[in-house]
Structure 1
Amino acid sequence: MQPIDTLKQMVQNSTNMVFFGGAGVSTESGIPDFRSADGLYAQKWPYPPEEILSHQFFTAHPDLFYQFYREKMLVLSAQPSLPHRALAAWERQGKLKAVVTQNIDGLHQKAGSKQVFELHGSIHQNHCQRCGRSYTGRQVAAMSGVPHCACGGIIKPNVVLYGEPLSDEVVTGAVRAIAAADLLMVGGTSLTVYPAAGLLQYYRGHQLVLINRSATAADSRADLVLHQNLGDVFTALGMEDISL
């Protein structure tokens, strides 16, 4: 049986599927990833992107942080890709129970997914560090320079920067979903970012599927591995006609 046929059969037989995704899900929507040859980390900046995206750098140089953040991460015009739409469709059918994502773009929700655990936060949620007032991504995008609240405090995106912990509530929800899954589909992630990648250890089932263009450290423990683009896989699954 061909790998794609095996995957089709797995999906058909599943009633409690969870999808764990990374940047490769959103590259289908034109959002650059971090670690590929043309990703954000390969680009030349006055400071390494890993340093710019740290809590320490944000605190010390909010102006430079926001210059990078607005240009490369605050992407509000992107539309859901085929993988986003297909996952939302599976959730509507009652087949997919949750999406666990390392992405911060909100495209899963834009596609219609309801149960989404955003491990690294969201560009659509922001707060004033002084008074706690909430701001949307569009409000932040409309401000120039370092965005400030009406109270004078600096507004910070609710994204997890290097040096910051993940949300206990989000991690707990993701762990419960993964532990209860009868099929865990991992897609578009190199599984090199921790602690997010470590959540796979909570999966106890025997249908672990890895879909990524390059090999990952978890390939050897997977039941099915496809080194392909997610869009090509979902097209092969016959999901190309899915609409929002």
Structure 2
Amino acid sequence: MKTENDKLDDLRECIALSDNIVFFGGAGVSTESGIPDFRSQDGLYSMKYKYPPERILSHSFFMSMRDEFYRFYRDKMIYTQAKPNDAHIALAKLEQIGKLKAVITQNIDGLHQDAGSKNVIELHGSIRRNYCMKCGKSYELDKIINSEGVPKCECNGDIKPDVVLYEEGLDSEVLNKAIDFINAAQILIIGGTSLAVYPAAGLVNYFKGSKLVLINKTPTPMDSGADLVFHGSIGQVLKSAIQGI
């Protein structure tokens, strides 16, 4: 049975020999920057609110109770002090040297871009993009932070974050772009996700390349089908894997 060092050596070799790597990441990528996930012991689902978080973050709740939505959203979904961690930085470096073709993320925090990644496919949107539901005007995150209650456009329309809420479908153009990159990848690295949220988790099925790498603190349903599996810090694994490259 291979040791962690053996597996790291294998991952380094895979990265060194490939110039067509795609990364697919979830909430666990951002937890190391201090942003809580949903399903862990300390995640949002385990916290107590007047309404369950998954209901608050639903389309129907947003449409009917926007004041309550924004109270939760500002308190628990926006982390302006969060900084990129070792995972974000390692991935940006791999892109800069021409090895990583795309970052596909379920996160909405924009930390991949802060680290320097350029080709970031945001499956669930971004808190940094917001738009008026009436006239379509775009607003940055400051508009949400510096307003009270439901943020209003200058046309008096309500502003909605450009994030995919429960009950809303993923943008088909974004989804198809992610599928194309995964389908063409030689190496797919999956990190910080339990692979429990569909349709995003189903993207793995489009991978036809040579090496599937999983990095997550807990086991996933795909572990048995992966070539390399790491149960630990994604930041530490990726930082170690790119040393010397």
Same fold, TM-score > 0.5, yes or no: yes
What residue is the counterpart of 1:60 in the other structure? 64
Identity percentage of aligned residues: 57
User: Is 2:238 the counterpart of 1:231?
Assistant: no
What residue is the counterpart of 2:81 in the other structure? 77
CA displacement, residues 57-95 of structure 1 (integer Å, 9 cap, x when unaligned): 000100111011001112222111111011001000000
Give the Å deviation of 1:5: 1.1
**Unpaired runs of at least 5, structure 2:** none
User: Is 2:208 the counterpart of 1:204?
Assistant: yes
Give the Å deviation of 1:238: 5.2
Give the Å deviation of 1:112: 0.7
What residue is the counterpart of 1:42 in the other structure? 46
Give the AA of the match of 1:143: S
What residue is the counterpart of 2:185 in the other structure? 181
Structure 1 residue ranges (4+ consecutive) displaced by more than 2 angstroms after TM superposition: 234-239
Question: How many correspondences in the alignment?
Answer: 241
Match of 1:104 among 99, 104, 108: 108
Give the Å deviation of 1:229: 1.1
Q: Measure, in 2, the Cα distance between the counterparts of 1:37 and 1:67.
A: 23
1:186 partner SS: strand
Q: Would you say the 8 A contact 2:89–2:115 is kept in 1? A: yes
What residue is the counterpart of 2:163 in the other structure? 159
Give the Å deviation of 1:236: 2.7
Match of 1:33 among 19, 31, 37: 37
2:197 partner SS: coil
Match of 1:145 among 139, 145, 149: 149
Q: Measure, in 2, the Cα distance between the counterparts of 1:40 and 1:207.
A: 33
Question: Normalised by the size of structure 2, how large is the TM-score?
Answer: 0.95
1:171 partner SS: helix
Give the AA of the match of 1:138: D
What residue is the counterpart of 1:88 in the other structure? 92
Give the AA of the match of 2:188: L
2:220 partner SS: coil
Match of 1:171 among 162, 166, 175: 175
CA displacement, residues 74-126 of structure 1 (integer Å, 9 cap, x when unaligned): 22221111110110010000000000000000010111111110000000000
